[in-house]
């Protein structure tokens, strides 16, 4: 039996750029798989969610932006490592617009632009979703129903073009 400390040649380990890329790719692939296998966001009972979709790239749900709609709220979750969850009450949404670029039409997608009275999200987009026209119509109807139920109305001020530029009302 031989005891004691003897000098031993150490192995040199190097971390190449390719290895780092493989590591990040594997990590993102793992997160994507987990997100698709366990869609536990938002933490609502499934019967409360009336519509849900994911922002899409080339028609496929390869992004980490998720949308969910309940009777009273729209939820938007973004991020992979750092998550951000926005919640907008439907009665606060003032205007809804559908936009469909050439590329979105090519892949059967669309973007819904919303203007709201919400302080944290005065304007936001529901980006690159499937069935965008039907979703916009459903969202618009739900907004009107929620505004009616909550007795919320918005006032629009309509001015004559001359009034808008400060023209004198009494000419003479």
Written as tens digits, the pLDDT of the chain (172 aa) is 567 777 777 787 776 666 667 777 777 676 666 666 555 555 666 668 888 888 888 777 778 899 999 999 999 999 888 888 899 999 999 999 999 999 999 988 999 999 998 888 899 999 999 999 999 999 999 999 999 988 877 665 555 555 555 555 544 4
- The contacts of residue 12 (CB under 8 Å, 6+ apart) are none
The DSSP secondary-structure symbol of 127 reads E
Question: Can you tell me the distance from the alpha carbon of 86 to that of 108, in angstroms, rounded to the nearest whole number?
Answer: 26
Can you tell me whether residue 119 is helix, strand or coil?
A: coil
Beta strands in the chain (DSSP E): 51-54, 66-69, 73-78, 84-89, 93-99, 109-116, 123-130
> How far is it, in rounded angstroms, from Cα 70 to Cα 24?
35
CA distance 70 to 90: 9
Q: How many CB atoms lie within 10 A of CB 67?
A: 21
Check if the beta carbon of residue 63 is closer than 8 Å to that of residue 56.
Answer: yes
Residue 144 burial (CB count, 10 A): 12
Whether the pTM exceeds 0.85: the reply is no
């Amino acid at each position: 039996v031989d005891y004691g400390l003897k000098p031993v040649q150490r192995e040199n380990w190097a971390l190449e750029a390719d290895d780092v890329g493989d590591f990040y790719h594997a990590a993102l692939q793992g997160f994507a798989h987990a997100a698709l296998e366990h869609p536990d966001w938002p933490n609502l009972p499934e019967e409360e969610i009336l519509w849900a979709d994911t922002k899409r790239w080339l028609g496929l749900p390869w992004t980490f932006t998720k949308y969910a709609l309940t009777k009273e709220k729209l939820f938007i979750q973004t991020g992979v490592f750092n998550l951000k969850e926005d919640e907008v009450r439907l009665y606060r949404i003032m205007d809804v617009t559908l936009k469909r670029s050439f590329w979105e039409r090519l892949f059967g997608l669309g973007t819904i632009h919303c203007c709201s009275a919400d302080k944290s999200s005065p304007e936001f987009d529901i980006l690159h979703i499937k069935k965008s026209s039907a979703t916009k119509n459903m969202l618009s109807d739900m907004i009107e129903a929620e505004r009616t139920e909550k007795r919320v109305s918005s006032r629009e001020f309509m001015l004559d073009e001359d009034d808008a530029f400060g023209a004198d009302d009494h000419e003479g």
